Amino acid sequence: MAEEVARVRPAELERLTVAEAADRYVELVRARTSTGALSSSTAEVYARDVATLVALAGERAVLDDLTGEDVDAILLAFARKPDGRRAGGADGGGQSASSQARFRRSISALFKHATLAGWVQVNPMTASTVTAKQRGGLRPERRALTREQAQGLIGAARALQEVPEEGKRRDQRMELRDAVIVLLLATVGPRVSELVRANVEDFFTNDGVRYWRIFGKGGRTRDVPLPDDVAAVLQAYLARGRAAVQDKALLLSWRGRRLARGDVQGVIDRVLRRVDPERRRSVTPHGLRHTTATHLLADAVDMDAVRRVLGHSDLSTLGRYRDDLPGELEVAMRAHPLLRGKPDA
């Protein structure tokens, strides 16, 4: 569908919001019905799917800022949506496999057109990793770790500083690097692309506080202060754990090359094996981003501060990174702010 519209990308990128791009695209799709190139019923299916994309992505989000990870989150969110046409769908049965495949085709067509029209620099669908099987299979599972699971993972990462030498050469020892990776993901919640792009020079100290200057989507940067414990492990890694090579990358393989984003999951899995089985649950780098957002927000941290830590331009986007915690509502009501202290006479 999209390939028949614009075949030459404009010299300058047009940074449209998701809602603006959707309106333009749907208008184009409906116009094709007048030529007989598309049936009106098919056009309305596309329009409905694009409207769902806007609702899940956030209408004020910039289309070019969406990454493959964002697309994965959108596909998973759609898979979880109740399908009222199916038996039990109103009770959270989720979308059928055919509906999920249709939705993916619809948004793929939009992004293909957006790439040709110059609304996005890179088609994020090419970086999407969620398969049809995962879209169905991941519905019941939480993406964020519970507090106990997250603390177990963080504890295992901290303990890597004390791991014995095990006969390895210094340039083959990756324990401190692995600790830095897990601690940054679990406490700061960067996108995995932001993590592997990080350079040593991006970390600086100001007034006694260690900061990470993160280069995020859309050319935006944010300076995020690191927790003291994380800053200490980072310093130990820079002092004695990172290979002395000219490459400016923060995270290096044992061969001295910049770590690839695909290597990060292996690091997490390696650290997870050190966690007590009762507190262990598999998690992806994006799941650790959800973990950061979930627990910062659950601890009543200012929403705008969390938005700035995660690098979002809009508060509404936080909803996609927020998982419910067991017993959270009960705790919130027990500590109700209007019932603290003595009542007025």
The span from the CA of 219 to the CA of 15, in Å, is 12
Q: Which of 32, 286, 295, 320 is catalytic?
A: 286
**Model confidence pLDDT, tens digit, residues 142-185:** 578 888 999 999 999 999 987 665 555 554 578 999 999 999 99
Q: Is 289 a catalytic residue?
A: yes
Q: Which of 191, 222, 295, 307 is catalytic?
A: 191
- Read off the pLDDT of each residue in 223-229 and give the average, rounded to a whole number: 93
Q: Is 168 a catalytic residue?
A: no
pLDDT higher at 101 or 231: 231
The span from the CA of 91 to the CA of 81, in Å, is 10
pLDDT at position 4: 39
**Model confidence pLDDT, tens digit, residues 42-63:** 888 999 999 999 999 988 889 9
Q: Which homologous superfamily does the CATH classification assign to the domain defined by 12-137?
A: Tyrosine recombinase, N-terminal domain (1.10.150.130)
pLDDT at position 220: 87
Q: Is 286 a catalytic residue?
A: yes
Residue environment code for 79-116, b if the CB has 16+ CB neighbours within 10 A, otherwise e: bbbebeeeeeeeeebbbeeebbeebbebbbbbbbbbbb
Q: Which of 217, 274, 280, 281 is catalytic?
A: 217
Bridge partners (DSSP) of residue 214 are: 222
pLDDT at position 52: 94
In the chain, helix, strand, coil percent, each to 5? Answer: 60, 5, 35
Phi, psi for 251 (deg, rounded to 5): -105, 120
Give residue limits of the domains in the chain: 12-137, 147-325
Q: Which of 143, 289, 290, 295 is catalytic?
A: 289
The span from the CA of 314 to the CA of 264, in Å, is 27
CA distances (Å), origin 25, targets 45, 55, 111: 13, 16, 10
| Mean of all residue pLDDT scores within the chain | 81
**Model confidence pLDDT, tens digit, residues 79-136:** 888 766 544 444 446 788 888 888 999 999 999 999 998 899 889 988 887 765 555 4
- Model confidence at 41, pLDDT cuts 50, 70, 90, reads confident
- Smallest CA-to-CA distance from 69 within 199, 189, 177 is with 189
Q: Is 191 a catalytic residue?
A: yes
Q: Is 342 a catalytic residue?
A: no
The secondary structure of residue 13, as a DSSP letter, is -
- Model confidence at 35, pLDDT cuts 50, 70, 90, reads confident
pLDDT at position 199: 95
Enter the tokens of residue 127.
């970086």
- Read off the pLDDT of each residue in 310-335 and give the average, rounded to a whole number: 66
- Smallest CA-to-CA distance from 17 within 27, 25, 9 is with 25
Q: Which of 80-89, 156-165, 189-198, 310-319 has the highest mean pLDDT?
A: 189-198
* pTM exceeds cut of 0.75: no
Would you say residue 138 has pLDDT above 70? no
Fold of 147-325: hpI Integrase; Chain A (1.10.443)
Q: Is 237 a catalytic residue?
A: no
Would you say residue 195 has pLDDT above 70? yes
Q: Which of 173, 210, 312, 322 is catalytic?
A: 312
Q: Which of 84-98, 197-211, 232-246 has the highest mean pLDDT?
A: 197-211
**Model confidence pLDDT, tens digit, residues 250-295:** 999 888 889 988 899 999 999 999 999 988 998 989 889 989 988 8
The span from the CA of 117 to the CA of 120, in Å, is 8
Contacts of 228 (CB under 8 A, 6+ apart): none
